[in-house]
Amino acid sequence: MNIHRPRSPIFIIAYKEICDSSRNRWLAFMGCMFLLLSLSVSFAGSAVTGSLYLPELDSLMSSLSTISVFIIPLAAILLCYDSFVGEEESGTLLLLLSYPLTRSQIIFGKLLGHITVMLVATGFAFGLTAALLLLVGEQYHSGELVMAFAQFLLSSNLLALTFILLSYIVSLKCTEKAKAIGCLLLLWFLFVLIYDLLLLTLLVSDFSFANQLLINVLIAMSPTDLYRAINLVAIEGEGANSLAMIVSTDWGLSAMYLLFLLWIVVLTFISHRIFKGKPL
């Protein structure tokens, strides 16, 4: 029989995940949600002050990152919560494992597919916003605006990648889809709201034990705070708040990106280990 020279299974699985997300209308939904978010922050964000004007680039990026820190992890969770538990429930995980594939290829294929979906959705929404701002916003320097949005896109997708991997870990550990989404929403709540609130409380309080190193470590321990810190440090303007000031004194932007990469490497390793040891 006619056997094709096989493409890499990673690309085949990634392509299937993209088709699945597109058929589920996740891609369209997330693209529209991010677009609505970025357009309203950019063009209608000043409405609360009583007049309509385009904000300064620093405060625009600050506002965008403040809202994205809630939305991007949630989108990543909703996209990936059933990646493994869903396939297990439908019987396709066992089938995939009977194919000439390694577990690493399955996990990296899914990861490539899911991050591509996030990249397309965020790239479309934030890219279109940046293009519109360039067209109508005379006060923006095009180079600065493009760089600011590129930096914002990069950090947003690193945050998405972190939550995709967290979703994989939970999806691999849970035996039911409902349990997986429940656990992940709890994680989202802890990372995005509770941990952040506790950290800010620590920052504004004058505890003697809360020295610079401890605060930096606490920021590094939460991907959402790392994301906030990256965006605030990158702005380095009036939008920067106490979190950015504290972080910027010790760590540069590249160090924080490295920390983000460390999160991704560690989570990839953990999800890989769990998948390898998963009983069938």
Residues that bind another protein (CB under 8 A): 1-7, 9, 12-13, 16, 19-20, 23-24, 90-92, 94-101, 280
C-alpha span between 63 and 140 (Å, rounded)? 16
Nearest CB to another protein, comparing residues 20 and 56: 20
Q: State the Cα torsion 38-44-49-52 to the nearest 10°.
A: 130
| Best CA proximity match to 172, nearest among 234, 86, 94 | 86
Q: What is the 3-state secondary structure (H, E, C) of 178-203?
A: HHHHHHHHHHHHHHHHHHHHHHHHHH
Q: Which residues does 135 contact at the CB level (< 8 Å), separation at least 6?
A: none
Nearest CB to another protein, comparing residues 187 and 278: 278
Nearest CB to another protein, comparing residues 141 and 273: 273
Q: Which residues does 143 contact at the CB level (< 8 Å), separation at least 6?
A: none
Nearest CB to another protein, comparing residues 9 and 137: 9
Residue appearing with tokens 């920021």: 219
**Tokens linked to 59:** 């405060």
Least distance in angstroms from the C-beta of 158 to another protein: 28
Nearest CB to another protein, comparing residues 17 and 58: 17
Least distance in angstroms from the C-beta of 111 to another protein: 17
